[in-house]
Amino acid sequence: MQPPLPERVRPKRLSEIVGQEALLRRLSRMVERKSPASMILWGPPGSGKTTIARALARELGLPFVALSAVEAGVKEIKALAERAEKEGPILLFFDEIHRLNKAQQDYLLPHVESGRFVLVGATTENPSFSIIPALRSRARVYVLEPLGKEDILALLSRALTHPEGLPGVDAEEEALELIAEAASGDARRALSALELAAELGGGRVSLEAAKEALGRENLVMDRGGDAFYDLISALHKSVRGSHADAALYYLARMLEGGADPLYVARRLVRMAVEDIGLADPGALRVALAAKEAYEFLGSPEGELALAEATLYLALAPKSNRVYRAYEEARRAARAHPAAPVPLHLRNAPTGLMKALGYGEGYAYYHDDPEGSFAQRYLPEELEGARFYEPGEEGFEKRFKARLEELRRRFEAGRRMKR
């Protein structure tokens, strides 16, 4: 019997892993320097913790041993330490490391310190509360984010062409979109659904096969058979359009249909930053508080917090100016990726840097407001660029007046300096 699809198509090298770009760059440098370091990978299910650990062991040339904190304890750790003493360092992947008790973690600690183990711990819970300080201080903590929809789509496409995946299986674009959306950032869930859909569809992944594969737990459907992405789209657009009743209805449809409430909570947070922004800065706090309330209360009481947040967002003034400003700033950063930071804004922790002029002439606002306005902040080639232009709704009307005043003072200061 062959292994499941997620295992068959698991990337073998760091360069093949999708998502988590910043972390992968750090780990690639670690491999280049041949200086393995212990770490804790904190992130949701299906975000790549196991895959990263396996690929890292392969590229560092270390034996890979996986233990689960649910099953393993001091006995297993001791046996591995004896093996490492004879054979050399081992990359020890400890899944659900937050479940190890203090005594087990204390026993693990000297073997991490000695280098017998290059520890890669995986956890879905905050290491600050579950990992002892001594162990945390010897292992870097890296936060993994849920994979984005585009990342999931890339994984699904790769699985359809991978020699050990599903070569020859035809998949409808709508079916892949549905699976990627319903996976909620979980690569394992997405790949398992793809494999089941291919079986149900007789070698073809149709939209209907994808719906059947996902089932009620992973896909929100009403009695008429509307797809998950139609409902989340309707919820988002109803909030954006300030139609409180429609927003509440689509929220209820999703939750009653079996949607993951935390997925809905994440989408509400996105709405707060994308469609409300600084028109009402409180919207983000309300959305995040709703997520925390749901995690604290669970269902069904926690769903009221999501309903409260949905109504608040629908009734709030709307602005996408922060979203647009950041997109403009991203374009500028990509167009000018190496623009030099003005010398007076640079940090100067060493004598050499000070001698090179780092930090020289910096005007500290609280001591010299006018000098602060007169100095240049953007790189020279971007001087005068404007990314954020506030709108007329809610708080942004006030921010607009403030920003206009500040820009006048910056321009006046620059003219005087010339």
Residues 26 and 65 in one domain: yes
- pTM summary value: 0.53
Residues 6+ apart with CB under 8 A from 333: none
- How much is the average pLDDT of 44-72? 90
Instruction: Please determine, for residue 203, whether its predicted confidence score (pLDDT) is greater than 50.
Output: yes
Please return the burial class of 281, using the count of CB atoms within 10 Å of its CB with bins 0-12, 13-18 and 19+.
middle
Number of domains in the chain: 4
How far the first Cα of the chain sits from its last, in Å, is 77
Q: What is the mean pLDDT of the chain?
A: 88
pLDDT score recorded for residue 290: 96
User: Which tokens belong to 189?
Assistant: 């869930």
Instruction: Please determine, for residue 38, whether its predicted confidence score (pLDDT) is greater than 90.
Output: yes
Alpha helices in 34-186 (DSSP H): 49-60, 74-87, 102-114, 127-130, 133-137, 149-161, 173-182
Domain's final residue, options 143, 159, 193: 143
In the chain, % of residues over pLDDT 90: 47
Residues 386 and 310 in one domain: no
| Residue 413 domain flag | yes
Instruction: Please determine, for residue 154, whether its predicted confidence score (pLDDT) is greater than 90.
Output: yes
* Residue 239's CATH number: 1.20.272.10
Residues 254 and 362 in one domain: no
Residues 204 and 268 in one domain: no
| Residue 166 domain flag | yes
Task: Report yes or no: 38 and 118 within 8 Å, Cβ to Cβ.
Answer: yes
pLDDT score recorded for residue 216: 42
CA–CA dist 137, 350 (Å, integer): 26
Q: For residue range 92-109, what is the model confidence (pLDDT) as tens digits?
A: 999 989 888 888 888 889
- How much is the average pLDDT of 163-184? 89
pLDDT band at 182 (very low <50, low <70, confident <90, very high): confident
| Residue 328 domain flag | no
Residues 129 and 108 in one domain: yes
pLDDT band at 275 (very low <50, low <70, confident <90, very high): very high
Q: For residue range 338-396, what is the model confidence (pLDDT) as tens digits?
A: 899 998 889 888 888 888 888 888 988 999 888 889 898 999 889 889 999 999 989 98
| Residue 321 domain flag | no
Domain's final residue, options 177, 194, 217: 217
Angle between helices 207-218 and 187-200 (to 10 degrees): 130
| Residue 299 domain flag | yes
| Residue 3 domain flag | no
Instruction: Please determine, for residue 41, whether its predicted confidence score (pLDDT) is greater than 60.
Output: yes
CA–CA dist 179, 351 (Å, integer): 56
Q: For residue range 68-95, what is the model confidence (pLDDT) as tens digits?
A: 887 777 888 889 999 988 999 999 999 9
Residues 212 and 279 in one domain: no
Distances (CA, A) of 319 to 194, 245, 394: 38, 20, 9
pLDDT score recorded for residue 1: 63
- How much is the average pLDDT of 237-241? 94
Instruction: Please determine, for residue 235, whether its predicted confidence score (pLDDT) is greater than 90.
Output: yes
pLDDT score recorded for residue 224: 35
Task: Report yes or no: 286 and 293 within 8 Å, Cβ to Cβ.
Answer: no
Residues 136 and 38 in one domain: yes
Task: Report yes or no: 22 and 143 within 8 Å, Cβ to Cβ.
Answer: no
* Residue 139's CATH number: 3.40.50.300
pLDDT band at 272 (very low <50, low <70, confident <90, very high): very high
Task: Report yes or no: 176 and 205 within 8 Å, Cβ to Cβ.
Answer: yes
Residues 192 and 208 in one domain: yes
Mapping DSSP onto H, E and C, the string for 11-34 reads: CCCHHHCCCCHHHHHHHHHHHHHC
Positive/negative CA dihedral, 150, 266, 46, 177: negative
Domain's final residue, options 217, 248, 274: 217
User: 380 lies in which domain range?
Assistant: 339-417
pLDDT score recorded for residue 211: 86
